Amino acid sequence: MKALAVLLLFVGPLHAGDLIEHVRSHPDGKAAFTFEAGAWSDAEATRHLPIGVFDSGIGGLTVLEALLTLDVFHNDTLQPGADGVPDFAQERFIYFGDQANMPYGNYSAVNRTDYLRELIVKDAIFLLGRRAWPVQGETPLYTKPPVKAIVIACNTATAYGLEDIRKALAAWKLPVIVVGVVEAGARGVLESNTTGGIGVLATVGTCASGVYPRTITQTLGLAGKSVPVIAQQGSPTLAGAIEGDAAFPDSVAAYALKEARALAEAYRDSKPQAPLQTIVLGCTHYPLAKSEIDTAFDSLRKEAAFSQMIAEQRLFVNPAEATARELFRELARSKLRLKPGETCALDRGQFYLSVPRVEEVGIQLTADGSLDKDYKYSRSPGQMDFEDTKNIPLTPDLLPANSLKLVRERLPAVWQSLTR
């Protein structure tokens, strides 16, 4: 399966071409999975558009938190150095969580990577378009603004869809920036100056792609650094548990311990010379459970089998801040960044999430109204006129209780924006 996933990653778009032509055939942006072709014709107006951020659920809110709070550049000179003003103070963001179709990391395990890649391009199309559904009602609205940049705040989506999105944007000739989180995570490993081993905790799909070991090895090699042992563990459960998905009934701490143990065992099996020291949180959901993950490794160190295998003090790499830095540089380089005193076309951020379109004939739901697992992972790409989910405004009451608590307590800037 790993070899298959890596092959799928590099053979080029599977169904992006279908989406490219579908968009071209609906230039008014009224149909599903399309956008208004001329929305970026005015370069100055484009600068004032918001920035889009998407993930397979709420995990990407950790990246949005970094975007809202980053202060590592001077806003007037653009030089490195904090100035007491958030670096994206003038910008506004549109966040989309594809919660109905999450977790993305499990599609490769059931040989549905082609459908996953279509989902990822559709996420970008949603951010580019004006079409969104109201919380109640059977008719979509066209009031959401398009975006000038897209942040793929999902490791699996970056691994499988970054190049598809870039090729689609080039085909559509859109001046839209795309930034992903994987390269940022690798730079975070480099900057950690680790002397021990590296462990990657991610989803099944991200690990199957091999993107983190490959990118970390390339990044360290280009910097003239030796490459330590890299082990990875793909979890089919932890992201869902953090989301509060009813399909994963145990506590987040229980799932974190299970995955930490599996990662430690994989690291031990590689016969390392140094203890496991740096942990890459290779899924954007995982920073929300960082304390549970760290506690899990502390617990493992008390066992004889791992007492010398896990460093007493561990370094956690969260790719979110590095992603925010890269976006700042890309906006400045492309002259799309709003300057101090300028305003965005939006006066506040917007949040959306996908939910099952329960009125659609043929979809299969669980008792709680979510997409049935077997149905979710059996779908095939290419159905441009069929919507089994719809994207609606995200409000706090739509979040599972566990997710709501995590966002409120651990992502204060996001919480403030969400509840304004």
- Catalytic site residues? 154, 283
User: Which residue in 229, 417, 202 sits closest to 318, CA to CA?
Assistant: 202
Contacts of 59 (CB under 8 A, 6+ apart): 153, 154, 239, 242, 243, 283, 284, 285, 286, 288
Q: Which residues pair with 93 in a beta bridge?
A: 51
* Kind and range of the H or E run holding 261: helix 252-269
Q: Say how far apart CA 408 and CA 416 lie, in whole Å.
A: 9
**What is the residue whose two structure tokens read 């379109």?**
357
What is the DSSP pairing of strand 310-317 with strand 350-356?
A: unpaired
The rounded Cα 173 to chain-centroid distance in angstroms is 24
404 CB-side CA count, 13 A: 9
Q: Which residues pair with 179 in a beta bridge?
A: 151
Contacts of 21 (CB under 8 A, 6+ apart): none
* CB neighbour class for 217 (10 Å; exposed up to 12, middle 13-18, buried from 19): middle
Q: Say how far apart CA 306 and CA 330 lie, in whole Å.
A: 43
What is the DSSP pairing of strand 276-281 with strand 310-317?
A: parallel
Q: Which two tokens stand for residue 168?
A: 């689609």
Any long-range contacts for 359-365 (C-beta under 8 Å, 24+ apart)? 359/138, 360/386, 360/387, 360/388, 362/388, 363/388
User: Which residue in 348, 350, 388, 383 sits closest to 372, CA to CA?
Assistant: 388
Q: In this structure, what DSSP letter does residue 152 have?
A: E
Contacts of 360 (CB under 8 A, 6+ apart): 386, 387, 388
Q: Say how far apart CA 276 and CA 77 lie, in whole Å.
A: 40
